[in-house]
Structure formats: structure tokens, C-alpha cells
């Protein structure tokens, strides 16, 4: 990876809604924001719902498989 290369990055962090709005506004002035989303708190659901836990596991596996495929075929 060269310093001049343009890449897409993803960062997850916790803050207040007010700070989120400020950060997004600032980022939009400085960088091209491709997407943003608020991640729901699913801690209690994950701890108490076995079906949800299976869905999370399947999503994680699918994401890993997708990245493996991209790394093997994206030249």
C-alpha cells in the first residue's frame, strides 16, 4: 500500500448523537463519505436469543467468505 493510494476504510466508534452529527459534518467537508449508519445495540438480544446468535454467526461466516473471495479474485 503506497501513501498515494486511495482506499476505502471503515471505522466503528461510540459517541453521542450530537458528536456523531458533528463528526459526520466535518468528515463530509474533508473526505468523500461513502456511507454511514448507526449500529443498533444488540447486546441483550445476542445474550438472550439463540436464533439471533445463529444469524450473527452466519453473517460473520458469510462476510469472511466474501472477503476471502475478493482477495482471491480481485486483481
Q: What are the tens digits of pLDDT across the range 38-65? A: 999 999 999 999 999 999 999 999 999 9
Q: Show me where the domains of the chain are located.
A: 17-73
DSSP 31: S
**Which of 48, 27, 45, 49 has the alpha carbon at shortest distance from 36?**
27
Start-end of H helices in 1-75:
17-30, 43-48, 50-73
pLDDT above 80: residue 30: yes
pLDDT at residue 3, as a whole number: 87
C-alpha cell of residue 65: 467468505
CB-facing half-sphere around the CA of 31: CA atoms within 13 A: 13
pLDDT above 90: residue 1: no
* Residue whose entry in the numeric block shows the C-alpha cell 462476510: 63
Amino acid at each position: 500500500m503506497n501513501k498515494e493510494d486511495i482506499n476505502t476504510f471503515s471505522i466503528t466508534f461510540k459517541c453521542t448523537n450530537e458528536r456523531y452529527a458533528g463528526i459526520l459534518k466535518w468528515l463530509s467537508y474533508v473526505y468523500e463519505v461513502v456511507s454511514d449508519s448507526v449500529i443498533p445495540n444488540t447486546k441483550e438480544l445476542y445474550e438472550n436469543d439463540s436464533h439471533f446468535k445463529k444469524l450473527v454467526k452466519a453473517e460473520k461466516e458469510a462476510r469472511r467468505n466474501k472477503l476471502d473471495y475478493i482477495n482471491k479474485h480481485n486483481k
